[in-house]
Amino acid sequence: MSATRAAVPPKQQLVGAGRPADRRRGSTLLRHLAVVLAAGLLLVAVSYSVEPFRNFQLATVAAYFCATAGLTVLTGLNGQLSLGHGALMATGAYTVALCQTAFADRGMTGGWLLPLSLAAAVVSTVAVGAVVGVAAARLRGPYLAGVTLAVAVVVPALAVTFDGVFNGEQGLSVPVEPPPLSLGAYFPYERWQLWVTGAATLLALLLLANLIRSRYGRTFRAVRDDEVAARLAGIHVARTQVLAFVVSAATAGLGGALLAVLAQSVSPGAFSLTLSLFLLMAVVIGGLGRLSGALWGAVLLVALPDLTHSLTELLTLSPAVAQRLEGNLPLAIFGLTLIVVMIAAPGGVQGLLSRLGRALLARRPTRHS
């Protein structure tokens, strides 16, 4: 810790020199709070104006957003590639399932139980993340990818091996209490789900955004950009990498836990290697290294199966052809889009939007003058 603190002055020159942000540091937290509050209010308003299915979809977006935000911090800001975030999500999800079941079995009820389970999920994922992170800090590039890939594959194996606890491939159910009665007897369950996941996600994002803006966030980037320079500047590289991994694991665990609460069940099939790869694709397509990009990625993860279906429904085909195209055609289009996006716009959706915005801003003054 002291080493990191000693490193502050040179590092500021290294990374964030001359940014106006440094002068206005005191207000960062307040500004983030304001953004989060606004987003929260907007979310409540939206939850009343859309139908239950959209509420559920938005809640799922929020849960995935937790995970993608953590991944984009790890991969985008700290430069560590993880193919195993699905496993970290599973850790959180199983913890919540075990906690909630334990509470329900003991007949305990109360609104504070769910936050407690979610906190337990974060703690257990932090522990797992610290172990993986310590190993990861020694590894680079594809070797890190290899280990995290193996971590992703291990989840179903553990669920099956310890099926006394995890109930094998069938998984566990997650007992969740209905919305509090004070909200009314007919309060839609999906709206309640959106509130719970939305609140948890916004809280996590608030902490994450502040971390990114803090000294730690700058050390993350310094390590990513140039390890030697970072070390010369007095940054403890390995410790920074472990810290990034732990932070990322915590949000992934929360995301997985929220997903489990939404689904009211956990099973290894939901946290397969495919999920890990899709998370990575989502943050890259959204725009790596930016929280807004992570949001786009989360939206994409939820919208994709939906699009998949609508697309095939648009086409009227003979049964034989339809059977082959169903499911496959949208995946092909998605794959193709992924390739084209990566070649044409490596900054992802958010990069594209920023460029668009800049182009618009740049054109306006010329018109006025």
Q: Minimum CB separation from other proteins for residue 306, in Å?
A: 7
Give whichever of 119 and 199 is closer to other proteins, judged by the CB atom: 199
Q: Minimum CB separation from other proteins for residue 134, in Å?
A: 9
Q: Report the distance separating Cα 122 and Cα 151, nearest Å.
A: 18
Answer left, alpha or beta for residue 79, where phi above 0 means left and psi between -120 and 50 means alpha.
left
Q: Minimum CB separation from other proteins for residue 21, in Å?
A: 4
Q: Minimum CB separation from other proteins for residue 205, in Å?
A: 9
Q: Minimum CB separation from other proteins for residue 99, in Å?
A: 18
Give whichever of 2 and 154 is closer to other proteins, judged by the CB atom: 154
Give whichever of 54 and 119 is closer to other proteins, judged by the CB atom: 54
Give whichever of 102 and 145 is closer to other proteins, judged by the CB atom: 145
Angle at 86 between CA 145 and CA 306, to 5 degrees: 120
Give whichever of 80 and 95 is closer to other proteins, judged by the CB atom: 80
Q: How many other β-carbons are positioned within 10 Å of the β-carbon of residue 318? A: 7
Q: Report the distance separating Cα 62 and Cα 194, nearest Å.
A: 8
Q: Report the distance separating Cα 103 and Cα 85, nearest Å.
A: 27
What single DSSP character describes residue 15?
T
Q: How many other β-carbons are positioned within 10 Å of the β-carbon of residue 154? A: 14
- By the 8 A CB rule, do 173 and 97 touch? yes
Q: Minimum CB separation from other proteins for residue 325, in Å?
A: 6
Q: Give the E-state strand segments of the chain in sequence order.
A: 172-173, 265-266
Give whichever of 176 and 250 is closer to other proteins, judged by the CB atom: 176
Q: Minimum CB separation from other proteins for residue 110, in Å?
A: 20
Give whichever of 120 and 174 is closer to other proteins, judged by the CB atom: 174
- By the 8 A CB rule, do 294 and 208 touch? no
Residue 157 sits at φ, ψ, to 5 deg, of: -60, -45
